[in-house]
Amino acid sequence: MNSVTLEVNGRRLQTEVEPRTHLGDFLRDTARLTGTHLGCEHGVCGACTVLVDGRPVRSCITFTVACEGRHVTTVEGYEGDEVMRRLREAFTRHHALQCGFCTPGMLATGRDIVLRLPEADEARIRLELAGNLCRCTGYMGIVAAIGDVLGQLRREPHPEVTGLREKMRAGIPVSPVPVAAQDGIKPMPAFAGLQPAATMAAQKSAPLPGMAVPASAAAKTASKETAEPAVSTGVRKGTQIDASFDVPFAIDAVWAFMGDLPVVAGCLPGAAIESQEGDKVKGRIAVKFGPMSAAFVGAARLERDDARRAAVLRGAGQDSLSQSRAQGDITYRLEAVAAEQTRVHVDMLYSLQGPLAQFSRSGLVKDFVRRMVADFGQQVSKRMAGDESTPVAQTPVSPLRIVFSLLLERIRKWFGRG
């Protein structure tokens, strides 16, 4: 057992704990502060986030003995804090919680965003919230609430909040409850999650709005843009799916066909183009997943690179019933496999927000999308061959029918019949 002394919500606690005891368990089991919620217990979901010396940390992977002499603030200890008062009101106003399990961690992270990033826009807020997972809300209300508080403080700065921001820039702890002088104790570093190298490179090459770009980085980006083709997938984050299909026609014929958006949309069940103006279109796509149905209405823009036989369709839409929002890029590139054989490579990058977001990342959905792309390829081949007998574009996409065929394929492979 190790003796540890720390302050929790302004109250000095001195006790003995095992070296392996995590702060989250200590707060719940010893301090009886059950507002701190433990979810994944691997530092991933963010539900257990608390403030240590005013900075958000994952209490599920922080050892209690490492908090010797620190000041810890949980969701029960924010009374009197101006930032938290505004955040709580905004969370209520924007309906930013449902089950409430993630809310204590969201509030802690939200307070840090408001103080550390006074000019943050929606994209930056979403990036900062990437380490806090919510299974209920789709994040729209949470993002709106934090943006609301930031907007309030930009319009009418509050002296208390301004003082906290100045302290944070100076490296002084900004806990909601004043922290006593602690000689010889360095502030605990803020939690910094690891990111895949590709994601970090993309973020470095395209900083968020308002972020300064070093001259050397700008030069490298400019040279890269000059060297690479005009069509790219952008840097939007989301779920990525790669697929391909073959069409028994020459590459020039396929490229010409793929430029006719209304005809191409007619090859995708549930999709329809309602209007077109140049490279911009408006339309709808209907999706049915068991008892859940959605009809996304939105707009898209097509960017084509004739030299590379590549294009990207950037679009966004919203389902009026569930209020779910979708946005994404569909990039396709043609490859001549033979004189009369063309392979179409498809790269989809999309994000889904709202009640339907819970379906967007499962492996089953990815399998479904790949199969849908394959079916789309078959329809393209039929249309190019002059066969328009198959009725399409009127029936909503039904994943269940495709799911059963996917399961059947897997069973056949398991038993060696595939």
100-143, pLDDT tens digit by residue?
Answer: 999 999 999 999 999 999 999 999 999 999 999 998 888 999 99
Q: Calculate ∠ Cα 213-217-222, nearest 5°.
A: 105
What number is the average pLDDT over the span 48-53? Answer: 95
Q: What is the pLDDT of residue 414?
A: 61
Show the domain range for 251: 233-414
Token pair 């990525």 in the structure block, residue: 240
For residues 146 and 239, membership in a common domain is answered with no
Confidence of residue 370 (pLDDT cuts 50, 70, 90): confident
For residues 27 and 149, membership in a common domain is answered with yes
For residues 385 and 252, membership in a common domain is answered with yes
On whether the pTM is more than 0.85, the answer is no
For residues 290 and 156, membership in a common domain is answered with no
Q: What is the pLDDT of residue 18?
A: 93
Asked, for residue 178, whether it belongs to a domain, the answer is no
For residues 145 and 244, membership in a common domain is answered with no
Q: How far apart are CA 351 and CA 144, in angstroms?
A: 17
Q: What is the pLDDT of residue 49?
A: 96
Token pair 């909601």 in the structure block, residue: 176
Domains in the chain, number: 2
Asked, for residue 276, whether it belongs to a domain, the answer is yes
Q: How far apart are CA 178 and CA 223, in angstroms?
A: 50
Which structure tokens are listed for 17?
Answer: 């704990």
Q: Residue 149: which of 226, 88, 229 has the closest Cα?
A: 88
What number is the average pLDDT over the span 348-356? Answer: 73
Q: Which CATH number do you get for residue 66?
A: 3.10.20.30
Strand partners, 272: 284
For residues 158 and 305, membership in a common domain is answered with no
How would DSSP label each residue in 200-220?
Answer: HHHHHHSPPTT----HHHHHH
Is the distance from CB of 131 to CB of 109 less than 8 angstroms? yes
For residues 33 and 149, membership in a common domain is answered with yes
Q: Which residues does 402 contact at the CB level (< 8 Å), separation at least 6?
A: 368, 371, 372, 375
For residues 11 and 120, membership in a common domain is answered with yes
Strand partners, 50: 57
Q: What is the pLDDT of residue 358?
A: 58
For residues 239 and 378, membership in a common domain is answered with yes
**Which of 3-17, 79-93, 223-237 bottoms out in mean pLDDT, i.e. has the lowest?**
223-237
Asked, for residue 189, whether it belongs to a domain, the answer is no
Asked, for residue 277, whether it belongs to a domain, the answer is yes
Reported as type and span, the H/E element at residue 5 is: strand 2-8
| The last residue of a domain, from among 143, 169, 195 | 169
Asked, for residue 216, whether it belongs to a domain, the answer is no
Confidence of residue 369 (pLDDT cuts 50, 70, 90): confident
What number is the average pLDDT over the span 198-209? Answer: 41
What's the DSSP call for residue 391? -
Asked, for residue 174, whether it belongs to a domain, the answer is no
Asked, for residue 214, whether it belongs to a domain, the answer is no
Q: Which residue has the higher pLDDT, 179 or 319?
A: 319
Asked, for residue 298, whether it belongs to a domain, the answer is yes
| The last residue of a domain, from among 145, 169, 193 | 169
| The last residue of a domain, from among 169, 184, 217 | 169
For residues 156 and 248, membership in a common domain is answered with no
For residues 126 and 240, membership in a common domain is answered with no
